[in-house]
Chains A and B, each alone.
Chain A
């Protein structure tokens, strides 16, 4: 590459006439050659600047910073939510006074629906092997009678059960007694149904004519 060629390229370059290929040629020349005339030394720097600027890359640090910030914020948010939850559970716990009626009701139900321990003892067991002593005592008694006795036991139990059921229903009825008033209201509301029907099928004007003609 002779000096004149480079000078021509430089002149063309500053007129904006060089092609990309020629500009590459210039860049290559100035990168490779160290010994240059004084007037070209700053061009070497200029083309070098272009080349190094073209290798700058977007910093990745920025994204990492953002991610870190995000995690930090997320951590704060989670801990805040947790503390609020804990506070809520502590302060919104029902007091004993508030729970008293429920406790009483459950006690009553338990008392009324409790199983009689005597019945449990007399309840028949199907497997004979588990109670060999009983079988020895009842050796002489016919099987049929045994079964009958069992049946009567079962019946007795059922009767008891029925009684308990009744008792239970009463308890429930008692607890629902405030709703009896609602029944009255409902009955009253039922009567209004007919007003609706009358309004639907017999509008005011027609109603008068209807009654007159009927008379």
Chain B
């Protein structure tokens, strides 16, 4: 089964990382889901889609963590531990823009973040994502559309701002 491959655990890790912004917590949760799946491996053939089950479990665990930390008021001003570092680019400007995109996605509401992660990064079909989030396909599409547009808007706003700053600097 495909889900026993380590690359699948990495997918769970990436979703948890997107939602929690903490590598330690994300790998804890990915490992937890992984082991729970292994314990329930006898029941898995009965499930329609073990993959989406795993993603649902990961997301729910992440939401639990977020809820409990929100109660502690820890995450109100979350500092991002994982600032994006592009492997190819060595120019600071490029890294800054990548960090901006990262920031734009992490400012999205949780649902939009999850849908965008599953669609644009992991490449799942809308029907699968709808199953994972327990939504209708239309709803999922609307959420995805909103996520993409607001990311674009944030990038465009930043560029406008930057242009203004640049022109101001040259004057």
Q: A113 near B: Cβ within 8 Å?
A: no
Q: B17 touching A56 by the CB < 8 A rule?
A: yes
Chain A residue nearest in CB terms to B16: A58
Minimum C-beta distance from B117 to chain A (A): 8
Please give, as numbers and ranges, the residues of chain B lying within 8 Å of A45 by CB-CB distance: 94, 97-98, 101
Please give, as numbers and ranges, the residues of chain B lying within 8 Å of A46 by CB-CB distance: 101, 151, 155
Q: How many chain A residues touch the partner (CB < 8 A)?
A: 22
> What separation, in Å, do the CA atoms of A105 and B145 have in the docked complex?
97
Which A residues from 117 to 155 make CB contacts under 8 A with B? none
Q: Which listed segment binds B: A10-18, A169-177, A178-186?
A: A10-18
> What separation, in Å, do the CA atoms of A62 and B30 have in the docked complex?
12
Please give, as numbers and ranges, the residues of chain A lying within 8 Å of B86 by CB-CB distance: 48, 52
Which B residues from 7 to 55 make CB contacts under 8 A with A? 9-10, 13-14, 17, 23-24, 26-28, 30-31
- CB within 8 Å for A54 and B98 given contacts A14-B148, A42-B155, A59-B27: no
Q: A56 touching B159 by the CB < 8 A rule?
A: no
C-beta contact mask, A38-80 vs B, less than 8 Å → 1, else 0?
A: 0000100110111011101111001100000000000000000
Please give, as numbers and ranges, the residues of chain B lying within 8 Å of A188 by CB-CB distance: none
Main secondary structure on B side of the interface with A: helix
| Interface bracket on B | 35 or more
Contacting residue for A14 out of B101, B142, B152, CB 8 A = B152
- CB within 8 Å for A15 and B145 given contacts A49-B84, A58-B30, A59-B23: yes
C-beta contact mask, A1-21 vs B, less than 8 Å → 1, else 0?
A: 000000000000111100010
Q: B87 near A: Cβ within 8 Å?
A: yes
Please give, as numbers and ranges, the residues of chain B lying within 8 Å of A49 by CB-CB distance: 84, 98, 101-102
Q: B90 near A: Cβ within 8 Å?
A: no
Contacting residue for B120 out of A15, A23, A52, A59, CB 8 A = A23
Q: B24 touching A50 by the CB < 8 A rule?
A: no
Q: B3 near A: Cβ within 8 Å?
A: no
Please give, as numbers and ranges, the residues of chain A lying within 8 Å of B26 by CB-CB distance: 58
The 4 nearest A-B residue pairs measured at CB: A16-B145, A58-B13, A16-B144, A54-B121
